Amino acid sequence: MHTTPDRAGRETAPGTVSDLDISKMRTIRTIPYGRILSVGLIVLAAFGIVRAFAMGDINWAITWQYMFWPTIMMGLFNTIWMSIVCMAIGVVIGLMCAIARDSVNPVLRGASIFYTWFFRGAPLILQLLIWFNLALVFPRLSLFGLFEARTVEVITPVTAAILGFGLNAGAYASEIIRAGLLGVDRGQFEAAKAIGMTGATALRRIVLPQAMRTVLPPLGNEFISMIKMTSLASIIGFSDLLRSVQNLYFVNTRVIELLMVATVWYLVVVTILSIFQQMLERRFGRGFVRRAQR
Amino acid sequence: MNGAAAATPLVSARIVGKTFQDFEALIEVDCDVMRGEVVCIIGPSGSGKTTFLRCINQLETYDKGSIWLEGELLGYRRVGEALQPLTEKEIARQRRKTGMVFQRFNLFPHLTALQNVTEGPIQVLKRRPAEAREQAMALLARVGLEAKAEAYPAELSGGQQQRVAIARALAMQPQLMLFDEPTSALDPELVGEVLQVMRDLAADGMTMIVVTHEMGFAREVSDRVIFMDKGRVVETGTAAELMSNPREERTRGFLKSVARG
Ligand SMILES: Nc1ncnc2c1ncn2[C@@H]1O[C@H](COP(=O)(O)OP(=O)(O)OP(=O)(O)O)[C@@H](O)[C@H]1O
Ligand SMILES: [Mg+2]
């Protein structure tokens, strides 16, 4: 039968309580076999992948040589500004749609529902093609007679891409922002009104900052997909990062080396974006995480 | 101030009615509150107490009778024999005259205690931030919380949150304070500190309408108690009259149930 020593070192029988102090005793480690095994497997796999690429038929010197190639820099720049502009348009439209969606005005509500339905429903490539070929439907564009132009001159690959991506992003952003707004307690809106705020001020100062907390992670996701989706615009002739890389390897046939260049740049951009997102999340998370007592 | 002006009630509700879908939440509610008066509203759950306060603060519209604040009709403008609803801005301006304290505090969680108090003065009254901060610190001191100015609501106890909420309402320099069961979401040991702040306010001459189940507070502080049931004002009188000698059977029953609870 096992016995345990008590504080005075006396052996006590099991089933009885003693004033044992665990901090005074030596602890025997339990060996985490599962953890050791999984770490081993991951290290092995990582080693295999790195080795394969290092030994494989990739000339890393060429990858490095093209890393800052002017046309690739141009493509990278296009990808970045296009993503930022379209995301900005998306967030503005998304915000308007989200507010309209819960408005008391049935026309606004209907328009918002229709917008989301259409731009989420139709495939993105299809939307890009439609915008790019708008001239086939409307040969001339005019804005209440103030402004008139031939459609082919207005709709360039750039404007078609902005319209296509921006309007599409708006449809997704509206659902994300709406979910965020619904997540804020109704009492917040009432408390804001009770101190004399109008609905617009209450939204801007009280409700939106709180919604940001839940809206930011999915919106960051959208931004990241946007960066990668801009490569779709190459079918209407927009020269993004991927396209500029392809243009080079069509000529020099260093396919994998150049694809690696693009991979590195996409990862760099997404990493910077993630850091930025984390900073924003911390900013808008204030007050929601209990700080350590000072 | 002449006699007639002094006799004008700060708030008057005249045969006020409010219907939700087909449910009558308020029926012919009549009530005058004079400047400096403290009126407590008691009554069973669902009797329309919250709805009445929300109508005075225009978080809810009323659909019968009329409500007046400082002789001004709430929510509408009279155009000859017709009525025109006020715009959102005009309603916001009327609402500034009343401060509201909610059962569940409703502090802004993303702002510190100090920012909660300065938000209204800066955003609505367009005060300079430095001036608003100074006034807010004085108010936080008045509710005993100047040490917690930089704390976020999540870092405060319920009683502290409710006191910040009172300071936030006071920062708008309201003519009238509305309290909707300000202590019923609090742990028993925190009720006292909030009631003390309200007692001090009453002593300073603030006009208050307080929905409460705290009979001790009603007896000690209020000038008048209104008993509501099923959307109607059943009985009104001083706390002593109502509690020791209720005229209506329903009042008697309610007081008994509260005493037991
Ligand atoms: N928005 C609403 N829609 C429909 N019915 C409502 C609404 N608000 C309140 N009511 C109803 O009106 C009645 C009065 O509600 P109110 O909240 O004013 O009661 P109360 O006296 O404050 O009760 P309690 O003591 O429980 O807070 C209740 O029967 C409630 O169900
Ligand atoms: Mg209530």
Q: Which residues of B touch A290 (CB under 8 A)?
A: 154-155
Separation between Cα atoms, residue B59 and residue A192, nearest integer Å: 11
What is the distance of C-alpha A185 from the center of its chain? 26
Q: What is the pLDDT of residues B221-242, one digit of tens each?
A: 999 999 999 999 999 999 999 9
Separation between Cα atoms, residue A63 and residue A258, nearest integer Å: 6
Ligand 1 atom index nearest CA of B43: 21
For B86-112, give one letter per residue: b (16+ CB within 10 A) or e. Answer: beeeebbebbbbbbbbbbbbbbbbbbb
Beta-bridge partner residues of B11:
B33, B69
8 A C-beta contact, residue B66 and residue B39:
no
**Residue B101: predicted pLDDT:** 97
For residue A15, is pLDDT > 90?
no
Q: Which residues of A touch B108 (CB under 8 A)?
A: 188, 191-192, 206, 210
**Smallest CA separation from ligand 1 atom 3, residue:** B20
Interface test with A, best of B50, B108, B117 (most A CBs within 10 A): B108
In the reported structure, the alpha carbon of residue B48 is separated from the centroid of ligand 2 by a whole-number distance in angstroms of 7
Strands (E), B70-220: 72-73, 76-79, 82-85, 98-101, 176-180, 207-211
Torsion sign, CA atoms B167, B171, B176, B178: negative
A140: left (phi over 0), alpha (psi -120 to 50) or beta: beta
Please, what is the end-to-end C-alpha distance for chain B in angstroms? Answer: 46
Of the listed ranges A60-64, A149-153, A276-280, B167-171, the least confidently predicted one is A149-153
Mean pLDDT throughout A197-210?
95
Residue B1 exposure: Cα atoms within 13 Å on the Cβ side:
7
Percent of the residues in chain B that have a pLDDT greater than 90, as a whole number: 89
Q: What is the pLDDT of residues B16-47, one digit of tens each?
A: 999 999 999 999 999 999 999 999 999 999 99
Separation between Cα atoms, residue A227 and residue A241, nearest integer Å: 10
What is the distance of C-alpha B12 from the center of its chain? 14
Residues of chain A with CATH 1.10.3720.10: 66-285
Nearest CA in chain A to B55: A194
What is the distance of C-alpha B140 from the center of its chain? 19
For residue A292, is pLDDT > 90?
no
What fold characterizes domain A66-285? MetI-like fold (1.10.3720)
Separation between Cα atoms, residue A232 and residue A256, nearest integer Å: 20
**Smallest CA separation from ligand 1 atom 9, residue:** B51
**Residue A21: predicted pLDDT:** 86
For residue B23, give both structure tokens. 């449910």
Q: What is the pLDDT of residues A85-139, one digit of tens each?
A: 999 999 999 999 999 998 889 999 999 999 999 999 999 999 999 999 988 888 8
For residue B92, give both structure tokens. 């916001």
pLDDT band for position A17 (cuts 50, 70, 90): confident
For residue A10, is pLDDT > 80?
no
Long-range CB pairs of B233-242 (<8 Å, 24+ gap) are B233/B28, B233/B29, B233/B30, B233/B31, B234/B43, B236/B31, B239/B40, B239/B215
**Residue A8: predicted pLDDT:** 59
Tell me the shortest Cα–Cα distance from A169 to chain B, in angstroms: 28
Q: What is the pLDDT of residues B96-138, one digit of tens each?
A: 999 999 999 999 999 999 999 999 999 999 999 999 999 999 9
Question: Are B119 and A195 an interchain contact pair (Cβ–Cβ within 8 Å)?
Answer: yes
Tell me the shortest Cα–Cα distance from B199 to chain A, in angstroms: 22
ipTM field = 0.92
Q: Which residues of B touch A289 (CB under 8 A)?
A: 154
The beta-carbon neighbor of A197 closest among B107, B124, B155 is: B124
pLDDT band for position B3 (cuts 50, 70, 90): very low
For residue A12, is pLDDT > 80?
no
Beta-bridge partner residues of B209:
B39, B178
In the reported structure, the alpha carbon of residue B45 is separated from the centroid of ligand 2 by a whole-number distance in angstroms of 7
Q: What is the pLDDT of residues B56-82, one digit of tens each?
A: 999 999 999 999 999 999 999 999 899
For residue A233, give both structure tokens. 């615009």
Residue A277 exposure: Cα atoms within 13 Å on the Cβ side:
17
**8-state DSSP, B232:** E
Which residues in A have their CB inside 8 Å of a CB on B? 185, 187-188, 190-199, 201, 205-206, 209-210, 213, 284, 286-291
For residue A208, is pLDDT > 50?
yes
The pTM is what? 0.85
**Residue A56: predicted pLDDT:** 81
Average pLDDT over chain B, rounded to an integer: 93
Average pLDDT over chain A, rounded to an integer: 89
For A135-164, give one letter per residue: b (16+ CB within 10 A) or e. Answer: eeeeeebeeeeeeeeeeeeebebbebbbbb
CA triple A8-A14-A18, angle to 5 deg? 35
Question: Are B106 and A209 an interchain contact pair (Cβ–Cβ within 8 Å)?
Answer: no
**Smallest CA separation from ligand 1 atom 26, residue:** B45
pLDDT band for position A1 (cuts 50, 70, 90): very low
The CATH code that applies to domain B11-259 is 3.40.50.300
8 A C-beta contact, residue A232 and residue A83:
no
**Residue A247: predicted pLDDT:** 92
Which of B51, B57, B209, B228 should be mutated for ligand 1, with most atoms under 8 A from CB?
B51
The beta-carbon neighbor of A198 closest among B92, B99, B108 is: B92
**Ligand 1: lining residues by beta carbon, under 6 Å:** B 20, 23, 25, 43, 45-51
Of the listed ranges A55-69, A261-275, B133-147, the least confidently predicted one is A55-69
Looking at B8-112, list the stretches that DSSP marks H as alpha helix, in order from N- to C-terminal side. Answer: 49-56, 88-95
**Smallest CA separation from ligand 1 atom 22, residue:** B50
- According to DSSP, the β-strands at A4-5 and A11-12 are antiparallel
Q: Which residues of A touch B89 (CB under 8 A)?
A: 198
**8-state DSSP, B205:** T
8 A C-beta contact, residue A216 and residue A277:
yes
Q: What is the pLDDT of residues B141-156, one digit of tens each?
A: 999 999 999 999 999 9
The ligand that comes nearest to the alpha carbon of residue B47 is 1
